[in-house]
């Protein structure tokens, strides 16, 4: 009888999930299986755990054995062709992936995401390699039947960033929890127009709207429906650029994580981010594009820190991007010294 049975042994990356949720993930490879089929099979005792009937809400444990008839779900979906994206991923070398890694241990891996590389695949970037593709290529050994290492958050394509992924299911659950509880410290660097105060806290609620010109969502200072939003800025250095005029390099700390929060908050105080076309379109941006060939807002998450499950402090810093260095070239030595003191 066992010859006609499929037996799945639960490992650490598949444990602590609800029984029904595990089966829903597992059955993604079976295109004809409906949700009702899964729950019906559980109730009819066609799928068992350790040869016993179990309820849908049962939490799977390591070494549990799920068994069911081999033909219960029919045939798996067969992939007949290799997509353009898959061909690109096959060309990724280990050296190229390693060059983007800033930190790694048994549960975490941190990448340096450059500007213009998307974090996750989207409808507009189906053929482009994403940071998720880099992660998938690098962490195949950590995949299980229903789990793949994953990033805990998303970010703008044209923002450079420290991007952290969880390599185990328990780590991902923990990461999502501390993000919800705001127990992560994110610090940014940005270059804005004009001289800024030495220290400023911006506490202005935000609301989302649709920008038809850019065909995308954007944020506004709220008038009616709103989300609490708090940003703290410190001026690292104010300087004069021979093409762009008076600029300030800021260190920014977020207390909430709203979409475009830094960009809209500093723009509302009349210190717009250099290169930001949605919240500021000025002569500075045109010069930045024409003379320096910079085509994005100068916003960079350079430091990311949190305590892991063992209360060890993980602190990851990303090097300053080339476009920042291009604007700061005459100030780099002093700026580097100031940031090291932080």
Q: What percent of the chain has pLDDT over 70?
A: 92
Long-range contacts of 215-220 (CB under 8 A, 24+ apart): 217/259, 218/260, 218/264, 218/278, 218/279, 219/258, 219/259, 219/260, 219/261, 219/263, 219/264, 220/264
* Greater model confidence, 214 or 206: 206
Tokens 């923002």 belong to residue? 159
What's the pLDDT at 71?
83
Q: Judge contact between 273 and 281, C-beta under 8 A.
A: no
Residues 6+ apart with CB under 8 A from 313: 305, 306, 307
Is 64's pLDDT higher than 80? yes
Task: Label residue 79 by pLDDT band (50, 70, 90).
Answer: very low
Is 37's pLDDT higher than 70? yes
What's the pLDDT at 85?
61
Handedness of CA 276, 281, 282, 287 (dihedral sign): positive
Beta bridge partners of 304: 186, 316
Mean residue pLDDT of the chain comes to: 87
What's the pLDDT at 93?
84
Average pLDDT, stretch 252-270? 93
85-98 pLDDT, tens digit per residue, is: 666 777 788 898 99
Q: Is 340 exposed, middle or buried (0-12, 13-18, 19+ CB in 10 A)?
A: exposed
Q: Judge contact between 154 and 113, C-beta under 8 A.
A: no
Q: Which fold has domain 185-305+318-340?
A: Pseudouridine synthase (3.30.2350)
What's the pLDDT at 83?
58
Is 272's pLDDT higher than 70? yes
- Pairing label, strands 5-9, 65-69: antiparallel
Q: Judge contact between 234 and 198, C-beta under 8 A.
A: yes
Q: What are the start and end residues of each CATH 3.10.290.10 domain in the chain?
A: 2-69
Alpha-carbon separation of residue 57 from 22, 27, 61, 89, 174 (angstroms): 10, 17, 13, 37, 20
What's the pLDDT at 282?
84
Task: Give, in words, the CATH class of 84-180.
Answer: alpha beta
Average pLDDT, stretch 313-318? 94
Closest CA to 298 of 262, 268, 334: 262
Full-model pTM? 0.79
User: Within a 10 A sphere around the Cβ of 22, how many other Cβ atoms?
Assistant: 22
Q: What are the start and end residues of each CATH 3.30.2350.10 domain in the chain?
A: 84-180, 185-305+318-340
Task: Label residue 124 by pLDDT band (50, 70, 90).
Answer: low
- 2-69 carries CATH number 3.30.1330.60: no
Average pLDDT, stretch 179-192? 92
Average pLDDT, stretch 9-23? 88
Closest CA to 178 of 305, 92, 291: 305
Task: Label residue 70 by pLDDT band (50, 70, 90).
Answer: confident
Closest CA to 260 of 273, 245, 242, 244: 273
Beta bridge partners of 9: 65
Q: Rounded to the nearest 5 degrees, what angle is found at the Cα of 307, between the Cα atoms of 304 and 309?
A: 135
Task: Label residue 1 by pLDDT band (50, 70, 90).
Answer: very low
């Amino acid at each position: 009888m066992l010859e006609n049975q499929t037996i799945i042994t639960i490992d650490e990356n598949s444990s602590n999930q609800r029984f029904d949720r595990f089966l829903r993930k597992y059955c993604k490879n079976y295109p004809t299986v409906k949700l009702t089929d899964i729950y019906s099979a559980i109730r009819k005792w066609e799928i068992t755990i350790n040869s016993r009937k179990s309820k849908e809400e049962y939490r799977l444990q390591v070494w549990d054995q799920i068994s069911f008839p081999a033909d219960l779900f029919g045939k798996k979906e067969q992939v007949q062709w290799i997509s353009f994206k898959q061909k690109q991923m096959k060309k990724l070398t280990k050296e190229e992936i390693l060059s983007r890694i800033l930190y790694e241990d048994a549960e975490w891996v941190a990448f340096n995401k450059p500007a213009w590389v998307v974090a996750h695949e989207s409808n507009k970037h189906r053929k482009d390699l994403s940071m998720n593709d880099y992660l998938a290529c690098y962490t195949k050994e950590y995949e299980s039947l229903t789990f793949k290492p994953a990033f805990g958050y998303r970010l703008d394509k044209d923002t450079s960033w420290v991007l952290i992924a969880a390599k185990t299911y328990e780590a991902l659950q923990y990461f999502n929890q501390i993000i919800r509880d705001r127990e992560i410290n994110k610090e940014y660097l940005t270059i804005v127009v004009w001289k800024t105060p030495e220290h400023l806290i911006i506490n202005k609620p935000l609301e989302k709207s649709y920008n038809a010109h850019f065909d995308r969502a954007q944020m506004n200072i709220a008038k009616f429906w709103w989300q609490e939003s708090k940003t703290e800025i410190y001026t690292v250095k104010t300087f004069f650029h021979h093409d762009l005029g008076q600029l300030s390099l800021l260190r920014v700390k977020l207390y909430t994580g709203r979409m475009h929060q830094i960009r809209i908050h500093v723009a509302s105080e009349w210190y717009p981010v250099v290169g930001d076309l949605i919240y500021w379109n000025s002569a500075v941006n045109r010069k930045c594009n024409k003379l320096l060939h910079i085509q994005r807002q100068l916003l960079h998450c350079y430091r990311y820190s949190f305590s892991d499950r063992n209360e060890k402090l993980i602190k990851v810093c990303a090097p300053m991007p080339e476009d920042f260095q291009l604007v700061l070239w005459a100030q780099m030595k002093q700026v580097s010294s100031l940031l090291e003191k932080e």
